[in-house]
């Protein structure tokens, strides 16, 4: 059996090494059009920033090491240019010499990945994407050649763009971040991205939302769509990526509606001899079974292995994708799994929302850091549809717990049952995940009724009165205009002061508001709790551009 | 409805506050025999160590704050001495005045917790347990009064004992740790506890295994069962705890076989008006449904809340317990969930074992720390029976993922499917949890056959030959006596050198051994891989006292 693999990074190389472990006798050839195989894509921005100092550490394997250990025939600088499905051959071009060869296959694995989707990148400037070792070598060489403080424009405030920003700032570069959309970090809902936006401002990044790059200015700077001109020694184009499907498409391989190569649960394409994995392939969404694009190294590795299992005749199918993802930015961590609220809204899918603001561990133990969590729930089934978390330490742990809970089919309410490891330096006796579950359970049981930050204005316009149950000191330090302040501990004695109207109560993060709502509803009043409290509301209105002052996550203290 | 709660810390107070939120009109009285309610038990050792400096931060609530917010009638220094189940009354003694009163109830919640199971504590020395605020006040006062370097004997190397050791060392106290058993940290299997033992030695702790305290020596020191005498200004007795069931037992409440108060899924005792929660109560084991004792704040809180739900007529049942637990010790973290191997062996229950030694995150990104993982699997069902992890950062995250996977009913093999958040500072493209799943899957599918460290000697005695597939340099730096060294990359070319005998291959952590085993088995040889490699074997023989030199986790480098 002879298998040819097109692309030698995450998905392709996982398939190759697993296939060898399953079959000592297989012929395995890996063609990689670039000069490097099995390199650490996800580490590239950190080499630009000088966080990773040893370039060779990014090159996890070489053709020689893979040959010695796995008897793989790895040919770098070789581009597969065509597939003859009838003859079961591929045409291959040596990229340096241009030499053309033909190679036959029994099985073909397409793992060419994705290519950068370039935005409007003005000619005449050193514009690079940040996808390959070559990109990184060029960027570092260019920055090293700048006299004085370098300036860069980064286009696109997604994962790669924000990682580029962090690392450029870390190198002392002045950065202008240009984002077409109305918020940074588009995968997040706007109110959850507010701390990221604020962190960028704190770090001196010039963030331009609702903006694109128009042209190179006369003086060599970059002209933006708002007419302003910003200096730039370098433009990094991180608008996004597109699956590299041209080879497959030319050979008549079916491309899915999402734009990625369509595969079945065994990673098989419409040609039973041809498989595909990685960023070039359409994934199956775990929430609704639709086809979608997710470009994650973890999925590429997992599906690569599953492909090898399929070819070797082992049972093994690639499961649907949750889209778990994480971003580190200046000590802040932002992570997500499943669907966002805006995606649920776009899809017209019913959902329930929970916002909380817990501490990473028991607040009486030093070093606790705050985080903001958002959970999205199917109100009919109590299934978890998605989650977003942003904060300091412990964010990665909580998103992984939620991803595992989703894979295990746990409902939102059953998060209360999770028995998570507790000592005060690691968690709280009720872990933030348990707390999410308690709020979800109260909503599901009708013990609490909630109103979301973006529903507040309409509810008040319809006659609802807002009652802030925080202390007088907290109220004085900042409040929602027009709210009445009745501290929680005085509420039972001051019921007579409350107006005869639907009430919305709120506190700082939602917990005291819940207790207040319980008191009032048991006294026969019509009451809802502002989900996530003042903190979520503040983040929400900031994200809409309605607040002059952004909240600062890092300087925000743990809630009392 | 009038509810009396006996005990005002974790379980009792969770029940009280939840009950109030569910029922504004309930009469709720909390009797606490101590002087403090709702204090941070789990923080007490860290106040002794000076890590937590603000004593008031340990006192999470006061009777006054609970009265103001929740209208709870909290009476500290009040001990409930008897229950009259017929009359539905309790007898209460004010511990300072001795005044006796009787209070009626509709519902009674027993939440008296556990009491320290004192070991052989010699009279004449300042011996304290470490369970209450009073204990901590006494210990800190005593240490403050010592001239020169203080010495302490800590009895019992479990959770509390080890936390006491860490904090005493942190204060500069010389510590002798006396443990009756043959290993430290008894909840762990011996080989997994080896890094903890070694860390104690590195920190200068005098660890005495297989030892008890015999008497106070003539010179005021502590005489141990081996006849030696060690100095001690203080003895901390952390042998363990026993459920405090005397009040319940005197009233005819059923006590379970484990020694804790027996309750049903609603925390109800055999008297339908009486509930019980917390450390005094028997839990239901999630693995086999048996009754057992687990003293964890998280369970106490969860079950306290479930009790309130039951009393208020809400659906809500306390689910079985996994026994998730975590220990921090000098920067090392040790965590576990479910059953240990020794418990499985004792129960005669079939099990499969996986040991791995991954890094906390991608090794090309700075700061990765090593960890050792152990997974216990039901070979018939592939169910996860338990796990242990010891190492640096990221241990807490991985044990929580496994606890969640167990709650969600995920099999060991399906850990491969978990889509965990990956960026290089947080994880690897194949997270350590995915890697555990891959090893488990290979074992379940028969792709790999394994031998455990403690089976090696017998297998070799029966004729198996050990082949070390690490590099010549690794072999020279330390090897298992009698092993043949054939580096993995040379293995295919040196098959003829291998003896005609059953083979056991091993590498440093098990991964190269797996590849070697695949090569050899496909060449028709009878081969098994030494699970966890040289590292697990070293920890294992060290734990048996068979190795003169212990391995050091903290100084151990990430595997290449």
- The C-alpha R_g of chain A, in whole angstroms, comes to 26
pLDDT in tens, A331-342: 999 999 999 999
Q: What backbone torsions phi and psi does residue A46 show, to the nearest 5 degrees? A: -80, -20
Backbone angles phi, psi at B292, to 5 degrees: -155, 170
Q: What is the pLDDT of residue A117?
A: 77
A163 → chain B, closest CA residue = B423
Pairwise CA distance, residues A418 & B319, whole Å: 9
Residues 6+ apart with CB under 8 A from A158: A185, A186, A187, A238, A240
| Interface contact B324, partner A, CB < 8 A | yes
Is A68's CB within 8 Å of B523's CB? no
Q: Is B116 helix (H, G, I), strand (E, B) or coil?
A: strand
**Region B2-114+242-311: CATH code:** 3.50.50.60
Report pLDDT for B543: 86
Task: Please say if the pLDDT value at position A555 is more than 50.
Answer: no
* Alpha carbon separation from B155 to B13, B158, B180, B343 (Å, rounded): 31, 9, 8, 23
CB contact under 8 A, A364 and B40: yes
Q: Among B128, B147, B150, B146, which residue's Cα sits nearest to residue B137? A: B128
Choose from A303, A368, A420, A442 for mutation: most chain B CBs within 10 A: A420
Among B residues 517-536, those touching chain A with beta carbons less than 8 Å apart:
518-519, 522-523
Q: How confident is the model at residue B549 (pLDDT cuts 50, 70, 90)?
A: very low
The closest CB to that of A365, out of B25, B52, B407, belongs to B52
Contact status, residue B263 vs residue B282, Cβ threshold 8 Å = yes
pLDDT tier, A553 (very low <50, low <70, confident <90, very high otherwise): very low
The CA-to-CA distance between both ends of chain A, in Å, stands at 65
Residue tagged 């455990």 (tokens): B452
Q: Of B135, B160, B164, B136, nearest to B152 (Cα)?
A: B164
Residues A145, B181: Cα–Cα separation, whole Å? 65
- Whether A70 and A17 have beta carbons less than 8 Å apart is answered as yes
Name which of B163, B165, B232, B157 is nearest B188 in CA terms: B157
Q: Which residue has the tokens 């081969």?
A: B527
Q: Which of A42, A404, A409 sits opposite B401 (nearest CB)?
A: A404
**pLDDT at residue number B555:** 33
The mean pLDDT of chain B is 92
User: Cβ atoms within 10 A of the Cβ of A415, count?
Assistant: 27
Is A46 in Cβ contact with B396 (below 8 Å)? no
* Sequence-ordered list of residues with C-beta below 8 angstroms from that of A276, at least 6 positions apart, any chain: A109, A110, A111, A248, A253, A261, A263, A267, A269
SS (H, E, C) B120-139: CCCCCCCEECCCCHHHHHHH
Match domain A2-113+242-311 to its CATH number in 3.40.1160.10, 3.40.1350.10, 3.60.15.10, 3.50.50.60.
Answer: 3.50.50.60
Q: Which residues 469-498 of A have a C-beta within 8 angstroms of B? A: 488-489, 492
Neighbour count for residue A494 (Cβ, 10 Å): 12
CB A421 to CB B401 under 8 A? Answer: no
A9-A137-A236 Cα angle (round to 5): 90
How many angstroms separate the CA of residue B442 from the nearest CA in chain A?
10
B460-481 pLDDT tens trace: 999 999 999 999 999 999 999 9
Give the largest Cα separation in chain B, rounded: 89
**Contact A405/B at CB under 8 A:** yes
How many CA atoms are closer than 13 Å to the CA of B473, on its beta-carbon side?
1
**Would you state the CATH architecture of domain B127-239?**
3-Layer(bba) Sandwich (3.50)
- In the block, tokens 């190759």 appear at A16
Give burial (CB, 10 Å; 0-12/13-18/19+) of B190.
buried
| Residue spans per domain, chain A | 2-113+242-311, 127-227, 325-445, 452-531
Question: Could you tell me the two tokens for B120?
Answer: 């052989």
For residue A302 the two structure tokens come to 């997992």
Q: In chain B, which among 158-177 make CB contacts under 8 A with chain A? A: 163
Which tokens belong to A359? 């501490």
Q: Looking at the domain that runs over B452-543, which CATH code has it been given?
A: 3.40.250.10
Determine, for residues A423 and B523 on separate chains, whether the beta-carbon distance falls below 8 Å: no
| Helices A432-445, A395-407: inter-axial angle, 10-degree rounding | 50
> Looking at residue B554, what is its pLDDT?
32
Q: Which ipTM did the prediction report? A: 0.95
A515 contacts chain B (CB < 8 A): yes
If you ran DSSP here, which 8-state letter would residue B172 be given? T
Measure CB to CB from residue A407 to each of B54, B365, B410 and give the nearest one: B410
Q: Do A362 and B515 touch (CB under 8 A)?
A: no
Q: How confident is the model at residue A10 (pLDDT cuts 50, 70, 90)?
A: confident
Burial tier of A19 (Cβ tally within 10 Å: 0-12, 13-18, 19+): buried
pLDDT digits (tens, 9 = 90+) for A208-238: 999 998 887 766 789 999 999 998 999 999 9
Token pair belonging to A511: 């917990």
Measured between CA atoms, the residue of chain A closest to residue B388 is A421
Closest residue of chain B to A521, computed from CA coordinates: B24
Conformation bin of residue A448: beta by default, left when phi > 0, alpha when psi is -120 to 50: beta
Looking at the complex, report in whole angstroms how far the Cα of residue B103 sits from the nearest Cα belonging to chain A.
26
Contact criterion met (CB < 8 Å) for B51 and A522: no
Residues of A in contact with B362 (CB under 8 A): 40, 42-43
- Residue whose C-alpha is closest to residue A108's, from A293, A321, A263: A263
Kindly state whether B56 is in contact with chain A, defined as any CB-CB distance less than 8 angstroms. no
Q: What is the pLDDT of residue A552?
A: 35
What is the distance between the alpha carbons of residues A276 and A260, in angstroms, rounded to a whole number?
Answer: 10
- Does the fold of domain B452-543 match that of domain B325-445? no
To test the contact with chain B by mutation, choose from A412, A423, A490, A511 the residue with the greatest count of B C-beta atoms within 10 A, namely A423
Work out the pLDDT band at A508, boundaries 50, 70, 90.
Answer: very high
pLDDT digits (tens, 9 = 90+) for A14-63: 999 999 999 999 999 999 999 999 888 899 999 999 999 999 888 888 99
3-class SS at B2?
Answer: strand
What pLDDT does A214 receive? 86
Instruction: Give B124's pLDDT tier (boundaries 50, 70, 90).
Output: low
DSSP H helix total and E strand total for chain A: 15, 30
CA–CA distance, A57 with A36 (Å, rounded to integer) = 13
What integer is the mean pLDDT of B188-196? 96
Which pLDDT band, with edges at 50, 70 and 90, does B321 fall under? very high
Which of the four pLDDT bands, split at 50, 70 and 90, describes residue B120?
A: low
Mutate: best of B309, B421, B525, partner A, most A CBs <10 A: B421
Please tell me the CATH code under which domain A452-531 is placed. 3.40.250.10
Residue with tokens 């069902």: B381
Q: Using 50, 70 and 90 to split pLDDT, how confident is the model at B130?
A: confident
CB < 8 Å from A in window 410-469 of B: 410, 414, 416-427, 429-431, 434, 438, 445, 447
Partner residue facing B426 (CB), from A23, A326, A518: A326
How far off is chain A from B239, nearest CA to CA, in Å?
19
Which of A52-61, A252-261, A551-560 shows the highest mean pLDDT?
Answer: A252-261
Residue B245's SS3 state is coil
Chain A hits for B418, Cβ within 8 Å: 400, 403-404, 407
Name chain A contacts of B321, Cβ cutoff 8 Å.
Answer: 419
| pLDDT mean across residues, chain A | 92
Chain B positions in Cβ-Cβ contact with residue A521 (cut-off 8 Å): none
Here the tokens at position A544 are 């809409």
Q: Residues A397-445: pLDDT tens digits?
A: 999 999 999 999 999 999 999 999 999 999 999 999 999 999 999 999 9
What pLDDT score does A119 carry? 63
Tell me how close the Cα of B301 comes to any Cα of chain A, in angstroms.
Answer: 7
Look up residue A116 and give its two tokens: 């950068």
Band of residue A560 on the pLDDT scale cut at 50, 70, 90: very low
Q: Which of B42, B444, B519, B525 is catalytic?
A: B42
Q: Is A335 on the interface with B (CB under 8 A)?
A: yes
Is A171 in a helix, a strand, or coil?
coil
Q: Which residues pair with A108 in a beta bridge?
A: A4, A274
DSSP result, B37-82 = SSB-GGGHHHHHTTSS--GGGGB---HHHHHHHH--EEEETEEEEE
In chain B, DSSP finds a helix count (H) and a strand count (E) of: 16, 30
Residues 6 or more apart whose CB falls under 8 angstroms from that of B310 comprise B266, B267, B268, B275, B316, B317
Contact (CB<8Å) A23/B404: no
- Alpha helix positions (H), B286-326: 297-311
CB-nearest partner of B298 from A43, A401, A419: A419
Whole-number Å distance between alpha carbons of A256 and A63? 33
In DSSP terms, A83 is beta-bridged to A90
> In this predicted model, what pLDDT tens digit does every residue of B446-462 receive, in sequence order?
999 999 999 999 999 99
Task: List the single residue in B with minimal CA-CA distance to A22.
Answer: B518
Which segments of A286-376 does DSSP mark as H helices, in order?
Answer: 297-311, 341-346
Q: In this model, does residue B125 exceed pLDDT 70? A: no
pLDDT at A207 over 90: yes
The DSSP secondary-structure symbol of B205 reads -
Mean pLDDT computed over A490-503: 96
Active-site hit among A22, A42, A60, A484: A42
Instruction: Identify the pLDDT of residue A93.
Output: 98
Closest chain B residue to A513, measured at CA = B21
Domain at B325-445: CATH code: 3.50.50.60
- Burial tier of B389 (Cβ tally within 10 Å: 0-12, 13-18, 19+): buried
Q: How many CB pairs under 8 A join A and B?
A: 247
B42 is catalytic: yes
Q: Does the pLDDT value for residue A153 go beyond 90?
A: yes
Give residue-wise pLDDT tens across range B249-276: 999 999 999 999 999 999 999 999 999 9
**A115's tokens:** 């290519």
Q: Give the mean model confidence (pLDDT) for residues B496-525.
A: 97
Q: Which class for B546: exposed (0-12), middle (13-18), buried (19 or more C-beta within 10 A)?
A: exposed
Would the pLDDT of B525 be above 60? yes
Question: What pLDDT sits at residue B189?
Answer: 97
Report the pLDDT averaged over residues A380-388. 98
Class of domain A127-227: alpha beta
The Cα A366–Cα B350 span in angstroms is 43
- What's the CA gap between A46 and A140, in Å, rounded? 11
B484: CB partners within 8 A, 6+ apart = B465, B466, B467, B468, B497, B498
Please write the tens of the pLDDT for every residue from A286-305: 999 999 999 888 899 999 99
B522/A25 CB distance under 8 A: yes
As a whole number of angstroms, the distance between CA A468 and CA A530 comes to: 10
Report the alpha-carbon distance of residue B332 to residue B95 in Å, rounded. Answer: 42
pLDDT at B216: 74
Cβ contacts of A527 on chain B, cutoff 8 Å: none
């Amino acid at each position: 059996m002879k298998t040819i693999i097109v692309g030698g990074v995450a998905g392709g190389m996982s398939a190759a090494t697993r296939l060898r472990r399953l079959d000592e006798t297989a012929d395995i050839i890996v063609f990689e059009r670039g000069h490097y195989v099995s390199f650490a894509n996800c580490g590239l921005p950190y080499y630009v920033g000088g966080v990773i100092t040893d370039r060779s550490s990014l090159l996890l394997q070489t053709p020689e090491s893979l040959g010695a250990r796995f008897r793989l025939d790895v040919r770098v600088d070789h581009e597969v240019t065509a597939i003859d499905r009838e003859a079961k051959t591929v045409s291959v071009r040596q990229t340096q010499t241009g030499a053309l060869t033909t190679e036959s296959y029994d099985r073909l694995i397409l793992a060419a990945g994705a290519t950068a989707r370039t935005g409007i990148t003005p000619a005449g400037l050193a514009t690079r994407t940040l996808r390959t070792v070559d990109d990184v070598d060029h960027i570092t060489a260019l920055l090293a050649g700048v006299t004085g403080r370098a300036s860069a424009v980064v286009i696109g405030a997604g994962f790669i763009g924000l990682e580029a920003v962090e690392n450029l700032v870390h190198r002392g570069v002045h950065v202008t971040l240009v984002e077409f959309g109305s918020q940074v970090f588009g995968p997040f809902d706007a109110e959850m991205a507010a701390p990221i936006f604020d962190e960028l401002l704190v770090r001196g990044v010039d963030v331009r939302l609702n903006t694109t790059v128009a042209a190179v200015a006369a003086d060599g700077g970059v002209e933006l769509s708002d007419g302003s001109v910003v200096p730039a020694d370098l433009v990094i184009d991180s608008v996004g990526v597109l699956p590299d499907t041209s080879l497959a498409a030319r050979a008549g391989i079916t491309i899915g509606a999402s734009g990625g190569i369509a595969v079945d649960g065994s990673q098989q394409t419409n040609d039973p001899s041809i498989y595909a994995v990685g960023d070039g392939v359409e994934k199956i969404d775990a929430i609704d079974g639709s086809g979608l694009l997710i470009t994650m190294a973890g999925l590429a590795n997992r599906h690569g292995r599953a492909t090898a299992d399929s070819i070797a005749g082992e049972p093994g199918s690639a499961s649907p994708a949750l889209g778990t993802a994480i971003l580190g930015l200046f000590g802040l961590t932002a992570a997500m799994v499943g669907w966002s609220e805006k995606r649920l809204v776009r899809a017209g899918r019913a959902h329930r929302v929970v916002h909380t603001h817990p501490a990473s561990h028991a607040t009486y133990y030093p070093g606790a850091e705050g985080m903001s969590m958002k959970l999205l729930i199917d109100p009919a089934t109590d299934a978890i549809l998605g989650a977003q978390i942003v904060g300091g330490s412990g964010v990665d742990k909580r998103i992984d717990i939620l991803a595992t809970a989703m894979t295990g089919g746990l409902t939102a309410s059953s998060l209360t049952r999770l028995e998570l490891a507790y000592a005060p330096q690691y968690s709280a006796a009720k872990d933030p995940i348990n707390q999410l579950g308690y709020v979800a359970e109260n909503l599901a049981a009708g013990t609490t009724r909630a109103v979301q930050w973006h529903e507040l204005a309409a509810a008040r316009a319809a006659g609802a009165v807002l009652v802030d149950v925080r202390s007088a000191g907290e109220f004085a330090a900042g409040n929602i205009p027009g709210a009445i302040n009745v501290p929680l501990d005085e509420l039972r004695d001051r019921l007579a002061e409350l107006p005869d109207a639907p009430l919305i109560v709120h506190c700082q993060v939602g917990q005291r508001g819940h207790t207040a709502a319980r008191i009032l509803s048991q006294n026969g009043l019509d009451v809802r709790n502002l989900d996530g409290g003042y903190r979520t509301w503040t983040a929400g209105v900031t994200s809409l551009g309605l607040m002059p002052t952004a909240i600062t996550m890092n300087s925000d203290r743990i809630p009392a």
